[in-house]
Structure 1
Amino acid sequence: MQDPEVYRRLIGKLLYLNLTRPDISYIVQQLSQFLNAPRAPHYLAATYVLRYLKGTLNYGLFYAANVDLKLSTYCDADWGNCLDSGRSLTGYCIFLGSSLISWKTKKHKAVSKSSTEAEYRSMSQTTSMSQTADEVVWIDGLLEDLWIQVPKPITLFCDNVAAQHIADNPCFHERTKHLRRKHYKLDVHYVRENVQLGFIKIAHVSSALQLADIMTKPLGADQHRFLSQKIGLVSQPCVQDWSGFSPSQS
C-alpha cells in the first residue's frame, strides 16, 4: 500500500467496533497481524468487512431482562491456523444466562503439536487468559461483589473429546506424552485443579454447535449466520423478544 496509515486507522476502528460486534472478531484478529507492512490484498479484505457491516447496520447483541444468572463458556482452538508461524488460535465466548458478556480471539504464543494440545491450551486460556487476571474467575468475583451468586460448577463446553478426558481423568496420559514444555504442563494442572475443586465442569458439544467457532475460523455464510444468532446477535434487538433464548439450545 502507498499509505499504510489508511489501513492502520481502518483496523483501529474495526478493533473498537469489535467491542460490540463479536461476529467480526476472527477477521479483525487476522487483519491486525499486518499493521506493520500492509499490502493491497489486506486492505481489500478489510473493505469486504466494511461491506458486511454496511449490510448488517441494524444488528446488535440482545440482552434479555429476565435470564438465569448462570455462567457458561464455550472455548475452541483452530489447530495450526497461521500459515506463517503454525500457531493456533484460541476463541472463547462467556455467557451469563443467554447473554454474551465476554469474548476474545487470541493467537497462541507457541506452536501446538496436536489438535488436543491446541484445544487444551484453549481451555486453559479461557479459564486463565493471563498470569495476572483469570477471565472466568474474574467475572465470577465481579458478580460476587455485586451480590450475585453464580451456581457452581461453571460449564466449559469443548468439542475435543481427548482434551475433555485429560481434564477429567488424571490417569489419561496417552495424548500428553509430547507436552513436556513447562507452560503446557502448568496449563494441564491449572484446568485439572479447577475441575477437581468443582469450579468448572467440562462438557462436550458437537462441532456444529460450538459457538466459539465463529471466533477461530472462517465460516460459510449459513454457518456464520447461524452462530451469530446463537450468540445473541440479532437484527433490531429492541423489537424482538428473546427471553427464552439459550445459547446451548440445539
Structure 2
Amino acid sequence: MKYVMDLLEDTGMLDCKPDETPIVENHKLDVYVDHVSTNKERYQRLVERLIYLSLTRPDIAYAVSVSSQFIHSPSEDHMVTVMRILSYLKSAHGRSLLFKKNEHLDPKSYFDTYYAITDRRYMLGYFTFIGGNLVMWRSKKQNVVSRSSVRSEYREIAQGVCEILWLRWLLVEIEFRLNAATKLHCDSQSAFEIANNPV
C-alpha cells in the first residue's frame, strides 16, 4: 500500500478521480504514424514502476503488459493509459493477494488465449492455484503467428503442462507430496482432441 501511495504522490495523482478498471475495454492502442509523442523517459520510468508493482497485483498485470509494448515509442494515448492505471490504483490501493488455509492443497491451472488484432498474434494467459490460493500467473504474446486458433490453444496446453510439471517438481523439492493429479482447465475442445490423439 505504501508503494502505491508513494507512486501516486510522485506522479501527482493523489487527487485524481478514481477509475473502476485499469484499462479501457476493447482498447485500440497501437503505434501510429501521426501520433503525438510524449516524454519517453517519464513513460519508461512509470511503466518500470508499474511492472514491479504488478508482481503482487495481478489485477493490473494485463494493463501494464499492454503499456509496456509501447515503451520505445510512447504517445499521448499510451500515457493516458498509464495514468488510468494510476487512477485505478487510487480506488484499489488496499487490494492485495489473500492467502488462506483450505481443507485441500490440490493444484489447479486455468489457461486461455485470445487473438490480438493489432499484430495478429495470440496472447496466452494462465493462472495456477494451490489449495485455492493464487500462486502463479502470466500473460505472454506468442512469438509466432498461428494460422488457426486451435494451434494456438494447443501450444497453450503444451506450455501449461510444462508449467505444471515445473510446479510439481518444485513442490517435491520442498518435500510436499501431492496426492492427486493436477487439473488443467482450457476452453478449447479441439485442442484437447489434438492432445489426446497419439498420431
Output one character per residue of 1:93-112: Cα deviation in whole Å (capped at 9) or x when no partner.
01101000000000000011
Match of 1:70 in 2: 106
Contact 2:101–2:131 under 8 Å retained in 1: no
Does 2:178 align with 1:150?
A: yes
Distance 1:57 1:67 in 2: 30
Are 1:163 and 2:191 an aligned pair? yes
Deviation at 1:66, TM superposition (A): 3.2
SS of residue in 2 equivalent to 1:88: strand
The question of 1:24 aligning with 2:55 is answered no
- Residue aligning to 2:15: none
Aligned equivalents of 1:94 and 1:2: distance in 2? Answer: 37
Partner of 1:127: 161
Give 1:152 shift.
Answer: 3.7
Render the CA deviation track for 1:55-88: whole Å, top value 9, x for unaligned: 0111111111234121110000002x141x2111
Cα pair 1:67 1:98 within 8 Å, conserved: no
Corresponding residue for 2:123?
A: 89
Q: Distance in 1 between matches of 2:103 and 2:132?
A: 7
Q: Identity of aligned pairs, percent?
A: 36
Q: Could you tell me whether the CA contact under 8 Å between 2:38 and 2:74 is conserved in 1?
A: no
- For residues 1-250 of structure 1, what are the structure 2 equivalents within 5 Å? 1-79=37-115, 81-83=116-118, 85-128=119-162, 135-170=163-198
Q: Compute the TM-score of the two structures, normalised by the length of structure 1.
A: 0.62
- Does the 8 Å CA contact 2:47/2:68 hold for their aligned counterparts? yes
Equivalent residues of 1:76, 1:122 under 8 A apart: yes
TM-score by length of structure 2 reads 0.77
CA, structure 1 residues 2+159, in 2 after alignment: closer, same or farther (shift >3 Å)? closer
When Rg is computed on C-alpha atoms for both structures, the one with the higher figure is 2
C-alpha spacing 1:2/1:72, structure 2 compared with 1 (3 Å): closer
Unaligned runs of 5+ in 1: 129-134, 172-250
The answer to whether the 8 A contact 2:153-2:188 is kept is yes
Task: Find runs of 4+ consecutive structure 1 residues off by over 4 angstroms.
Answer: none
Q: Alignment partner of 2:121: what SS? A: coil
What secondary structure sits across from 1:20 in the alignment? Answer: coil
- Counterpart CA distance in 1 for 2:68 and 2:168 is 30
State the aligned residue count. Answer: 163
Query: Any idea what the Cα deviations from partners look like across 1:157-212, whole Å, max 9, x if unmatched?
Result: 001111111112335xxxxxxxxxxxxxxxxxxxxxxxxxxxxxxxxxxxxxxxxx
**Distance in 1 between residues matched to 2:147 and 2:104, nearest whole Å:** 39
CA RMSD of aligned residues (A): 1.4
